[in-house]
Amino acid sequence: MEPLLMIKDLTKEFGKNRVLEKVSINLNAGEILGLIGPKNAGKSILLKILAGLVKPTSGQINIFGKELSQLEKADKEKISYIPDQANLYESMTVNEIIGFSKKFYSNWDEQKCSQLLKRFELPLNFKIKTLPRAMKTQLSLVLSLASRPDLLLMDEPLEGLTIAKRKDFINLLNEEFTEKKFNLIMVSQYLEDLEKVCQRIGLLREGRLCGTLSIEQLKVKKVEKLIRVVFRRRPPAYLMEMPGVKKVERETDLCYVFTINENFTEIYESCTKVPHLSLDVDYKDCETLAVQTLPLEVTNLPEKKENTNQEPYHTADSISSGGDAGAF
């Protein structure tokens, strides 16, 4: 069966700056993929390319069996994108932006829209600029889900949400997924929440996709999580002593790496509250783990066809980076 999304050797350059390098990934129908990686790893650009906001420099992207640039309106209706920063028209009211958005979609679900508005208690007559960040994110989700997408792209949707709202957000995604099997690619730093939604997690490093981890394997192996923070000043001592922090390594003067075996979200949120320059999350030894635990395969590369003696790499659930499977 052809994958719903097939990305092959995707490269994106902004001038001389290469932000994505030969990224290849497939997504099967009904699959949910999480994406993690440090800042400027290319996660957001990858989603923006899929959403049609950024043009790829080279490579091939097929969605619903068609080349990205060849997608018709009906195909585009099935793709929905929620950016990291709310991009809604601030001068519109909630009601107005719903009215504006629904005209783009032939299969807009009015019932779903009202149901979600009620669930999030969004004020219909309030201007969007007056809403807190969490409500803007919720509104973006309403607009996305009411369009009944087959492929949902979400960039850091959980940022700025309270614990309760994040939980509700994750529950909603799971409910929606049970109701209608859609595909989701989600970028988030909230690893515990990602694990609740996703089936696989892709690791992006400096524009290269260096592997995927299956959630089942992560759970079985009890893989530890890492938080690398560059603080603005020396961090408070309580951070090092929080339950769940297994080890703290000091890489440079203000750069600390926390190894966490439980209580990740609370520790992550505590770190975000301390003034910092950068904060990245990761899994410990994930590259090695990917090599050891996942059957890594190269995606439909033409040159592989010549090698008929070799075991064919056929599963759609495959991934490659830079055309070099050994990189994992």
Partner 1 sequence: MLFKNLLWNEISQCKWLIWIGLTLIILNVFLVVFSYGLVGGVIKGVKLDIQDNFKLNCMTPDVPDEFTYYIWSQWNAKSLSQLGVIFVIFLATTQFVGENSRKNISFLLSRPVGRKLVFLSKSSAGVLVILFLFGVGAGFLWIFSELFHYQAAWSRILLSGMLSIVWLILFYLLGCLLSILTSIPLTAGLAIIGVGFVLSIPGWFEALREFSIFYQMRAITYFLKGAFPLVKTLIAVFLGGGLYYIAQNSFVKRDYA
Binding residues for partner 1, rule: CB under 8 A, are: 14, 45, 48, 51-55, 73-74, 76-77, 79-81, 83, 85-91, 100-101, 103-105
Q: Could you give the CA distance from residue 89 to residue 92 in angstroms, rounded to a whole number?
A: 6
In the bound state with partner 1, the residue whose beta carbon lies nearer, of 128 and 286, is 128
* Minimum separation from the CB atom of position 92 to partner 1 (A): 8
In the bound state with partner 1, the residue whose beta carbon lies nearer, of 79 and 170, is 79
* Minimum separation from the CB atom of position 175 to partner 1 (A): 24
In the bound state with partner 1, the residue whose beta carbon lies nearer, of 129 and 234, is 129
* Minimum separation from the CB atom of position 83 to partner 1 (A): 6
* Minimum separation from the CB atom of position 63 to partner 1 (A): 13
In the bound state with partner 1, the residue whose beta carbon lies nearer, of 50 and 218, is 50
* Minimum separation from the CB atom of position 135 to partner 1 (A): 16
- What does the angle CA 14 – CA 46 – CA 258 come to, to the nearest 5 degrees? 100
- Angle of helix 133-146 versus helix 163-179 axis, rounded to 10: 0
Q: Which residues, in sequence order, are bridge partners of residue 149?
A: none
In the bound state with partner 1, the residue whose beta carbon lies nearer, of 91 and 278, is 91
Q: Could you give the CA distance from residue 35 to residue 255 in angstroms, rounded to a whole number?
A: 23
C-alpha closest to that of 194 among 224, 226, 166? 166
The dihedral region occupied by 136, where left means phi > 0, alpha psi between -120 and 50, and beta the remainder, is alpha
The dihedral region occupied by 59, where left means phi > 0, alpha psi between -120 and 50, and beta the remainder, is left
* Minimum separation from the CB atom of position 322 to partner 1 (A): 22
67: phi then psi, degrees, rounded to nearest 5? -60, 140
In the bound state with partner 1, the residue whose beta carbon lies nearer, of 136 and 200, is 136
* Minimum separation from the CB atom of position 65 to partner 1 (A): 17
Hunting for tokens 């690893």 — which residue is that? 191
Q: What is the DSSP string of 108-129?
A: --HHHHHHHHHHHT--TTSBGG
Q: Could you give the CA distance from residue 195 to residue 255 in angstroms, rounded to a whole number?
A: 26
In the bound state with partner 1, the residue whose beta carbon lies nearer, of 128 and 170, is 128
C-alpha closest to that of 27 among 46, 42, 52, 44? 46
Residue 251 CB: number of other CB atoms within 10 A? 11
The answer to whether 11 and 46 are in contact (CB under 8 A) is no
b/e for 3-14, b at 16 or more Cβ within 10 A? bbbbbbbbbbee
* Minimum separation from the CB atom of position 276 to partner 1 (A): 24
In the bound state with partner 1, the residue whose beta carbon lies nearer, of 53 and 163, is 53
